[in-house]
Amino acid sequence: MIKVIHVISDTNIGGAGTVLLTTLYNIDRSKFEVKVVLPAGSKLIPRIDALGFEHICTKGGADKSLDLGAVNEYCRIFKAEKPDIVHTHAAMAARIAAFLSGVRVRIHTRHSTFAPRPILTRFPMRNICGFINNTLSTAMIAVSESTKENLTDMGANPKKIEVIINGAEPLRQVPAEEAAALRASLGIAPDDFVVGMSARLEEVKGHIYLIEAARILRERGVKNLRVLIIGTGTTEQTLREKVQEYHLEDCVLFPGFVSDVAPYIQIMDVIANCSFGTEATSMALIEAMSLAKPAVATDYGGNAYIIENGKNGYIIPQKSASNLAEAIQKLLDDPAKCREMSKVAYSKYICRLTGKIMTGKVEKLYEDEYTLRCKK
């Protein structure tokens, strides 16, 4: 039995937490004994408990990757638990502690993609960043090729990096009656074409471009378009004001935060991803594919791996409302093409993007690293 400790610093359930929960759900418990270390009060705790895994709460490290005050706390946990593997999600303090505690296998997952500052890609900072990553981690998981490029641009050893694309559990199948009731409650007619976006309302997610695209299509005379913007965040008021400015109140709807996104995804004809920052492998896109939804997504980060242009959706340039409007128009005008893309989306999900497939690759990395470093 290989003893694994996951460490995550998140107090909310974001992309990293969702990937962790998916891994826990699918991991082979006959081979791996798993515990999770996370901050007290994290919203992940009830879900981890429901899956039947033990968790260990920390006082420090909450929503901070490099909380130096938490290093000793992590060290005490690792020395008491004696794990074979420590797998960190951000949590730089835990990476330092695992190294100091002599944990032989130290795996770090990089969950985001962003263009590193130029100073970090040049001597001497590139060498310093590379030394830190290569020393603290015996292996790194990048959730997309673009994420791997970020790491190598900052000096990480490419031989230590395993690209493991995120996987997701399928969203529940929503009965037709439930979907119809939701449409009615939102004022969406049976023949309306629905484009949706499920993401934190933050600038880098690019919601403004979806609103601009809706304005373009309305000006072209498209009357049956409805846009769902699901989520909350710091740009919500700005987005609502822009909708009012464009007189799109009947077109763009804000359901807010929803605990069960499946019914909302079900009533969408197309899901959109307008990100121009931090998007590595979009869980929202993958979950939508489990319900056979095609997508329109920007060419940022890992989107182009998930969405094959012209097959299960369209890939468009970042920050381009006009290109977004054109892609939506294509799908709106060609229902047969939309249905074909739906079939491809589901097939791609089943073949490449399930939680079980992702977890199997993580398990193999665990076993390979354990054999290499612990069975000597």
Q: What is the largest CA-CA distance in the chain?
A: 70
CATH architecture of 2-168+355-373: 3-Layer(aba) Sandwich (3.40)
Under the banding of pLDDT at 50, 70 and 90, the label for residue 32 is: very high
User: Cα–Cα distance between 30 and 343 in angstroms, integer?
Assistant: 35
Q: Residue 138: name the closest of 99, 92, 89 by CA.
A: 99
Q: What is the mean pLDDT of the chain?
A: 96
> What is the predicted pLDDT for the residue at 376?
62
Q: Which amino acid is it at 323?
A: N
The DSSP line for 180-221 is HHHHHHHT--TT-EEEEEES---GGG-HHHHHHHHHHHHHTT
The SS3 call for residue 270 is strand
**Stronger pLDDT, 114 or 158, i.e. the higher one:** 158
Contact 34, 24 (CB under 8 A): yes
Q: Residue 272: name the closest of 292, 249, 250, 288 by CA.
A: 288
Quick one: tokens of 240?
């609502």
User: Cα–Cα distance between 192 and 56 in angstroms, integer?
Assistant: 48
Q: Per residue in 257-294, pLDDT tens?
A: 998 999 999 999 999 999 998 788 899 999 999 999 99
User: Cα–Cα distance between 331 and 348 in angstroms, integer?
Assistant: 19
> What is the predicted pLDDT for the residue at 259?
87
Residue 372's contacts (CB-CB under 8 Å, 6 or more residues apart) are none
Quick one: tokens of 269?
């004809």
**Equal CATH topology for 2-168+355-373 and 176-352:** yes
Q: Is 46 exposed, middle or buried (0-12, 13-18, 19+ CB in 10 A)?
A: exposed
> What is the predicted pLDDT for the residue at 142?
96
* The residue to which tokens 């993609």 are assigned: 113
How many angstroms separate the Cα of 151 from the Cα of each of 35, 130, 156, 310?
27, 8, 5, 30
User: Cα–Cα distance between 344 and 191 in angstroms, integer?
Assistant: 23
Contact 92, 61 (CB under 8 A): no
Domain-wise residue ranges, the chain: 2-168+355-373, 176-352
User: Cα–Cα distance between 194 and 181 in angstroms, integer?
Assistant: 15
Under the banding of pLDDT at 50, 70 and 90, the label for residue 154 is: very high
Q: Per residue in 123-132, pLDDT tens?
A: 999 999 999 9
**Domain over 176-352 is classified CATH 3.30.70.580:** no
Q: Is 369 exposed, middle or buried (0-12, 13-18, 19+ CB in 10 A)?
A: buried
Q: Per residue in 175-215, pLDDT tens?
A: 999 999 999 999 999 999 999 999 999 999 999 999 999 99
> What is the predicted pLDDT for the residue at 239?
98
Under the banding of pLDDT at 50, 70 and 90, the label for residue 4 is: very high
